[in-house]
Amino acid sequence: MNQTYVDTVRLMLSIAPIVFDTPRFAMKGGTALNLFLHDMPRLSVDIDVVFTDRGLNREEALDAIDQELDRTRKQIEAEGHATEFSAASSSGKAKGDDVKLVVISGATAVKVEVNYIFRGTLLDPVRRLLTKQAEDTFSTSIEVPTLHDAELYGSKLVAALDRQHPRDLFDVMHMYAHHGLRPDIVDAFVGYLSGHNRPIHEVLFGPKHSMAEAYDSDFVGMTVEPVDLAVLETTQERLHRELPASLTENHRRFLISLVRAEPDWSLMPYAHLRELPALRWKLINLENLKKKKPEVFAQQESALREKFAALDSEHASADTETDTMPPSQA
């Protein structure tokens, strides 16, 4: 493993108990998956944070996030580390969907990122201990709140389709090996897909992108055992083929109702889904699009329906070919 990554993880684990010394934060992403759920198949160098309180309005939530990160910053600086902090409330400094705190120790830096759009959780968070391999490697033992494993993977699947980074596809590869596309994972995927800022059909049915550059620059040296790019590309192909096909009829109907700005919440297993700020924001944006650009609004529904129809046609053709094969080849 690359020593720079090892040093980064060591710093990250030293500050994680400070970050999560609040009931309002839970860990998600690769660090939760690889250091707290699975026994360190790879290193992970960032702390991705969910703000668990879905009940606050946007300004209240941003103020609360800023307060928690300011608390974290002060405690970390008291331990001798430097920090850089971008607040997100009235200053408007934050870019994208995250508020960032960067912790610096010598040549090593760790990013702590809190997503202020997808606030709240689909399932109750779970407290997890650092796995044994990580404990032995870094000579420490900590416990942090993380998302439920179904939600960890549901959100990871959206990231794997959206940004298509080798680290995400590595995590998906381990999902297939240990869990598969469990129904609760697919449920959570649909929940996170629903709150994504891009059109649903673009994420769910988007083209595959090359991972070669990111593989060399941001992946090699991160895994305990070397993993070839070709292996990740095979996982990428499998994910793009199997995940859309794993959606149930209820999932499809819900997504279509959502892009019509008429969501049928009863089709999803989360009673509070309508309360999540990301979903409320998605609906506001869809309503605005419907008023200002009705043709573009209508195109999102038609594109999603067409993609589902094409998927059904492909499967019907595959089933027909299998049925007509001679017994020796079937």
In this predicted model, what pLDDT tens digit does every residue of 202-223 receive, in sequence order?
999 999 999 999 999 999 999 9
How far, in Å, are 90, 152, 261, 280, 282 from residue 57 at the CA level? 14, 24, 21, 11, 15
Neighbours of 43 (CB within 10 A): 24
Q: In which band, very low, low, confident or very high, does the pLDDT at 90 lie, cut at 50, 70 and 90?
A: very low
> Residue with structure tokens 């697919």?
186
How much is the pLDDT for 314?
A: 85
pTM for the complete prediction? 0.92
How much is the pLDDT for 91?
A: 47
Q: In which band, very low, low, confident or very high, does the pLDDT at 92 lie, cut at 50, 70 and 90?
A: very low
Average pLDDT over residues 95-119: 89
Q: In which band, very low, low, confident or very high, does the pLDDT at 93 lie, cut at 50, 70 and 90?
A: very low
How much is the pLDDT for 327?
A: 56
pLDDT in tens, 122-158: 999 999 999 999 999 999 999 999 999 999 999 999 9
Is a pLDDT exceeding 50 seen at residue 301? yes
What CATH number has the domain spanning 3-147? 3.30.460
Q: Which two tokens stand for residue 84?
A: 């850089």
Is a pLDDT exceeding 70 seen at residue 316? yes
How much is the pLDDT for 300?
A: 97
How much is the pLDDT for 86?
A: 79
CA-based torsion, 3, 35, 52, 155: positive or negative: positive
Is a pLDDT exceeding 70 seen at residue 29? yes
Residues of the chain with CATH 3.30.460: 3-147
Average pLDDT over residues 24-40: 97
Q: In which band, very low, low, confident or very high, does the pLDDT at 163 lie, cut at 50, 70 and 90?
A: very high
pLDDT in tens, 270-292: 999 999 999 999 999 999 999 99
Name the packing angle between helices 58-78 and 3-19 (round to 10°).
120
Measured between alpha carbons, how far is 317 from 323 in angstroms, rounded to an integer? Answer: 10
Average pLDDT over residues 41-57: 95
92-129 b/e (C-beta count within 10 Å ≥ 16 → b)? eebeeebbbbebebeebbbbbbbbbbbbbbbbebbebe
pLDDT in tens, 229-254: 999 999 999 999 999 999 999 999 99
pLDDT in tens, 110-122: 999 999 999 999 9
Average pLDDT over residues 308-317: 87
Arithmetic mean of pLDDT over the chain: 93
How much is the pLDDT for 308?
A: 97
